[in-house]
């Protein structure tokens, strides 16, 4: 629904994509556009898209970097299927993204970059901007961003090469004009980032941002302007947050809630490295960070610190999980609490390191020696990472077990508004520390949780030993076959019993019907949007999203039984589908996608329709 005013066309939402070379600052302008939209009161969802190569040749398809966001006047669950407006800084960016731009969409191009050499690098035999059919297909806005930036900064003391690098903010200023975005948050960003250290740079970027905005007011081709009203929100303090940022804050909150010191041990790996970077800036909260020499060492440090009584965390991606598997098994048999975060990316091996995937579920469940089931949970959105971190800590400390928390690149790098919670509303996390007032029996278990109690090394009267060899209840090494089976069963029963503490599954739609869609992780937004649209069209479709993947919720089987068909969309080849079919003997339909890209709402809409007609 749209409404035209004298200066703006009122729209419910818009999708904007910025694309250019890695050095063109597309992530930066995307983040600034996101901040400005949040400041304007819109709901937002983002999708940064990085090239896999660190130094891909400039002007090539391999080096294209992009950032897409959707902002609107109601709840936004995805960054959008296709852009309403595409900003292409060079021919390669155009070539890599133009197929996604619908006919009639706004296309803003930097014409200075459309030279024969750059066209050839991008694989163009001729300049597409000179093709009449191409020009008629889109709302084309040609800007000489390089020349306009130089003109705006002709009095600036910056070096010529540094002046040209400001052209991304000229493009941003122009898009601010088109969509009625406020400049103030970005101007403040310039001042905060460079005002004291590099005042000339801060001034230059401010000048070109304003120049780009002013240009829009003078261009006939930019007369179409759009306005998106504020989204209704619950009262409170909001901020924009990414999944990795939310994970950082959730881990710190969990440490405070459990009254334990937090130790993070990690090895840099895309896309989990920001967790280490974020925690390293929070030392004032007593956070200890260790950058280990490799993934195995990082896990070993975390395990040792857990033995000493800290709340310990590792974050990695799929390849790192492979290397940690032996130490994860040791954590399981010793029953020590720690959190292993796996921010999933495309695999196997190096695979698609900067693209999203959900292919580590089976690895999280089974990739260890011996029978050692562990709790596994998955975050479904950037802000949900905060709650999942606290939930992972609750389970780890209550049940004395390592916990695997799954995120994915789409969730980790995406951003959305977050209602900052009141600390008094956060749950209390109980510890299972042994008391010096009674004899300490290492593997004596709590009757309700089957968890053992933890004793901090060095306490008089609580001396003990643990290790990788199977033990009896008293902690003594035992090779007895029956004891090994009993201890293995107890560890498995402990994990299985965690499901008794889960809240009932929330069903979107009716409690019974023709089709139930089951999702997990970062597919939440696309699944929820597609199912909601089909319900609005009159179809009998409901959807649920699983946070806990091991153990599965107790009410899942009964919910599935109330629907004629069940489908599981996943960014893998059907891993959750395999589990559901095996556990519940239900003919669950699998719909997998393995392209390094999230689901589009439109493709899920069409797939669900196949089973509803």
Interstrand relation of 541-546 and 43-49 (parallel, antiparallel or unpaired):
unpaired
pLDDT tens, position by position, 355-376: 999 999 999 999 999 999 999 9
Q: Provide the pLDDT for residue 150.
A: 96
Chain region(s) in the chain for CATH 3.40.50.920: 513-610
248, 275 in Cβ contact below 8 A? yes
Instruction: State the pLDDT confidence band at 458, using cuts at 50, 70 and 90.
Output: confident
Question: Looking at the predicted structure, is the pLDDT value of residue 541 above 50?
Answer: yes
Reading the block at residue 422, the tokens are 């009141």
Percent of the chain with pLDDT strictly greater than 90: 92
Question: Looking at the predicted structure, is the pLDDT value of residue 2 above 50?
Answer: no
Reading the block at residue 32, the tokens are 């600034």
- Pick the more confident residue, 431 or 299: 299
Question: Looking at the predicted structure, is the pLDDT value of residue 613 above 50?
Answer: yes
Q: Provide the pLDDT for residue 96.
A: 96
Q: Provide the pLDDT for residue 57.
A: 85
Which stretches within 219-317 are classed as H helix? 243-258, 273-280, 295-307
Best CA proximity match to 185, nearest among 198, 172, 200, 196? 172
Instruction: State the pLDDT confidence band at 1, using cuts at 50, 70 and 90.
Output: very low
User: Residue 516: how many CB atoms within 10 A of its CB?
Assistant: 26
Q: Provide the pLDDT for residue 6.
A: 46
pLDDT tens, position by position, 166-201: 999 999 999 999 999 999 999 999 999 999 999 999
pLDDT tens, position by position, 143-168: 999 999 999 999 999 999 999 999 99
Asked if CATH classification 3.30.1490.100 holds for the domain at 3-228, the reply, yes or no, is no
Beta bridge partners of 546: 520
SS3 state of residue 125: coil
Best CA proximity match to 66, nearest among 104, 14, 28, 103? 28
Give the pLDDT mean for 110-129: 96
Task: Determine which helix (DSSP H) or strand (DSSP E) holds 69, and give its type and residue range.
Answer: strand 64-72
DSSP state of 354: T
pLDDT tens, position by position, 315-349: 999 999 999 999 999 999 999 999 999 999 999 99
Question: Looking at the predicted structure, is the pLDDT value of residue 387 above 90?
Answer: yes
Best CA proximity match to 322, nearest among 348, 355, 303? 348
SS3 state of residue 264: strand
Write phi, then psi, for 189 (nearest 5 degrees): -60, -45
Instruction: State the pLDDT confidence band at 3, using cuts at 50, 70 and 90.
Output: very low
Q: 3-class secondary structure for 407-451?
A: EEHHHHHCEEEEECCCHHHCCCCCCCECCCCCCCCCCCECCCCCC
Q: Provide the pLDDT for residue 432.
A: 80
Q: Considering only the top CATH level, what class is 513-610? A: alpha beta
Q: Provide the pLDDT for residue 425.
A: 94
Q: Provide the pLDDT for residue 55.
A: 74
387, 425 in Cβ contact below 8 A? no
pLDDT tens, position by position, 201-255: 999 999 999 999 999 988 866 556 888 999 998 899 999 999 999 999 999 999 9
Write phi, then psi, for 454 (nearest 5 degrees): -105, 135
Chain region(s) in the chain for CATH 3.40.50.970: 239-425
pLDDT tens, position by position, 391-403: 999 999 999 999 9
Q: Provide the pLDDT for residue 220.
A: 67
Q: Provide the pLDDT for residue 54.
A: 74
- Pick the more confident residue, 407 or 430: 407
Chain region(s) in the chain for CATH 3.40.920.10: 3-228
Question: Looking at the predicted structure, is the pLDDT value of residue 4 above 50?
Answer: no
Q: Is 593 left (phi over 0), alpha (psi -120 to 50) or beta?
A: beta
Cα 453 to chain centroid distance, Å, stands at 34
Q: Provide the pLDDT for residue 302.
A: 98
SS3 state of residue 392: helix
Q: Provide the pLDDT for residue 36.
A: 96
pLDDT tens, position by position, 544-567: 999 999 999 999 999 999 999 999
- Torsion of Cα atoms, 147 then 153 then 159 then 164, to 10°: -40
225, 217 in Cβ contact below 8 A? no
SS3 state of residue 394: helix
The strands making up 402-408's β-sheet, listed across from edge to edge, are 288-291, 262-266, 311-316, 338-344, 402-408, 376-378, 548-550
Give domain 239-425's CATH architecture. Answer: 3-Layer(aba) Sandwich (3.40)
Q: Provide the pLDDT for residue 224.
A: 67
Q: How far apart are CA 406 and CA 296, in angstroms?
A: 19
SS3 state of residue 569: strand
DSSP state of 452: B
Give 128-152 as a DSSP string. GGG-HHHHHHSEEEEE-HHHHHHHH
């Amino acid at each position: 629904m749209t409404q035209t005013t004298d200066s703006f066309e009122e729209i419910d939402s818009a999708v904007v994509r910025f694309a250019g070379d890695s050095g063109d600052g597309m992530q930066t302008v995307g983040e600034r556009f996101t901040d400005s939209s949040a400041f304007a009161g819109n709901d937002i969802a983002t999708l940064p898209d990085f090239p896999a190569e660190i130094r891909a040749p400039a002007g090539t398809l391999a080096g294209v970097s992009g950032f897409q966001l959707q902002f609107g006047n109601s709840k936004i669950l995805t960054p959008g299927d296709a852009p309403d407006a595409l900003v292409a800084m060079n021919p390669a960016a155009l070539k890599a993204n133009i197929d996604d731009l619908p006919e009639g969409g706004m296309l803003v191009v930097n014409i200075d970059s459309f030279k024969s050499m750059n066209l050839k690098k991008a694989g163009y035999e001729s300049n597409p901007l000179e093709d009449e059919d191409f020009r008629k297909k889109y709302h084309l806005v040609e800007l000489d961003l390089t020349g306009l930036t130089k003109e705006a900064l002709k009095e600036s003391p910056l070096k010529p090469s540094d002046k040209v690098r400001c052209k991304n903010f000229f493009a941003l200023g122009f898009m601010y004009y088109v969509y009625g975005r406020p400049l103030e948050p970005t101007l403040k960003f310039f001042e905060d980032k460079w005002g004291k250290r590099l005042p000339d740079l801060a001034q230059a970027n401010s000048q070109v941002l304003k120049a780009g905005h002013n240009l829009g007011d003078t261009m006939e081709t930019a007369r179409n302007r759009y306005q998106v009203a504020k989204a209704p929100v619950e009262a409170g303090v909001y901020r924009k947050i990414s999944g990795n940022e939310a994970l950082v804050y959730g881990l710190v909150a969990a440490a405070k809630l459990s009254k334990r010191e937090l130790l993070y041990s990690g090895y840099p790996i895309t896309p989990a490295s920001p967790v280490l970077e974020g925690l390293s800036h929070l030392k004032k909260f007593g956070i200890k960070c260790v950058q280990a020499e490799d993934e195995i060492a990082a896990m070993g440090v975390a395990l040792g610190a857990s033995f000493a009584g800290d709340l310990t965390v590792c974050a990695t991606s799929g390849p790192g999980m492979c290397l940690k598997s032996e130490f994860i098994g040791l954590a399981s048999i010793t029953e020590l609490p720690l959190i292993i975060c796996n921010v999933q990316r495309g695999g196997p091996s190096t695979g698609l390191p900067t693209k999203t995937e959900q292919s580590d579920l089976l690895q999280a469940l089974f990739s260890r020696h011996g029978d050692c089931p562990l709790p596994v949970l998955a975050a479904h959105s950037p802000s949900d990472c905060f709650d999942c971190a606290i939930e992972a800590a609750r389970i780890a400390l209550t049940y004395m077990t390592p916990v695997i928390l799954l995120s994915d690149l789409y969730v980790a790098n995406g951003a959305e508004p977050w209602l900052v919670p009141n600390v008094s509303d956060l749950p209390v996390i109980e510890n299972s520390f042994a008391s010096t007032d009674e004899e300490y029996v290492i593997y004596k278990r709590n009757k309700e949780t089957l968890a053992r109690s933890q004793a901090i090394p060095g306490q008089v009267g609580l001396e003990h030993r643990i290790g990788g060899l199977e033990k009896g209840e008293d902690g003594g090494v035992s090779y007895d076959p029956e004891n090994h089976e009993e201890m293995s069963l107890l560890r498995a029963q402990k994990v299985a019993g965690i499901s008794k503490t889960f809240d009932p599954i929330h069903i979107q739609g009716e409690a019974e019907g023709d089709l139930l869609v089951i999702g997990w992780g970062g597919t939440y937004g696309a699944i929820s949007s597609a199912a909601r649209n089909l319900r609005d069209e009159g179809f009998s479709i409901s959807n649920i999203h699983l946070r806990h993947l091991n153990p599965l919720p107790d009410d899942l089987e009964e919910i599935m039984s109330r629907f004629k068909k069940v489908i599981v969309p996943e960014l893998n080849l059907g891993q959750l589908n395999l589990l559901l079919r095996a556990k519940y003997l239900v003919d669950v339909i699998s719909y997998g996608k393995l392209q390094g890209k999230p689901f589009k709402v439109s493709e899920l809409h069409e797939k669900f329709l196949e089973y509803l007609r």
